[in-house]
Structure 1
Amino acid sequence: MVVNLLRDDYCLLDKPANEVVGNRVQHVSFMVDASWEAPSWLQGANQLKTLLFLPRRSHGSISIPNFNVILANMKALQVLDLAVVDCRNCHDSLREMKQLRYLRLGKSFDSLPACITNLKFLRTLDLTHTSIRV
């Protein structure tokens, strides 16, 4: 189910959706659990500015096949929440997100990726859900 919020460029997906209504969506939140699968349209969603993964239930990390490939196309992202996503193979994709302003890392990070230094517009780095201690 797709829920449009306020305008056509925001949507919350709480059930699998093969397509997003309209092509102007720039801000997406997914309600996810261990059975969640990335919709096919997400890999080509290079216009997204916000990508959030919200846990449906409290549990560990969610593994998303080919997530590094999905992220590689999202160079316009400004907000990325990876608290519940296993991103061990995503460091190269993060390096290319030059517009990123907010980044929340999750349990799959036990050290700060070196690519963080390339994120010149980054204003908020949330390490709450990691085992990284500074």
Structure 2
Amino acid sequence: MFLVYNLGSIASAFMITAGTFAGMSFVGFVTKKDMSSFGGQLRGALIGLIIATIVNGFILKSGPADFVLSIITVLIFIGFTAYDTQKLKQIYMHYQDQETLGSIAISGALSLYLDFINIFLSILRIFGGRD
């Protein structure tokens, strides 16, 4: 990554990602709306995104399509951030003081980490200045 993008672009993308991630995680934590119905929709959108990315990568090889797919990736994963945060909050409230909470916390942390990484890489593709 450091060989492809300049350091300023990486730092900017990281700051944008951190702010976006924190904001959406806060929304997922405090919202009263049940977001469980969004999980299936987000997974369906992710499957469509994967198929579109494969088609663009191997068949179309279109730069503008890659740009649009990066924007869609950001939108999908900010949705996943809010969804995963709310899901983890609900799980914590249900399983308080139980031994299984440790393994659930590790799984939840991995989900949120993957959300962050995907947002970061997509924002870097959108705004990143290449060396």
TM over 0.5: no
Higher strand proportion (structure 1 or 2): 1
TM-score (norm 2): 0.22
Higher relative contact order (CA 8 A, sep 6+): 2
Higher helix proportion (structure 1 or 2): 2
Q: Which has the larger radius of gyration?
A: 2
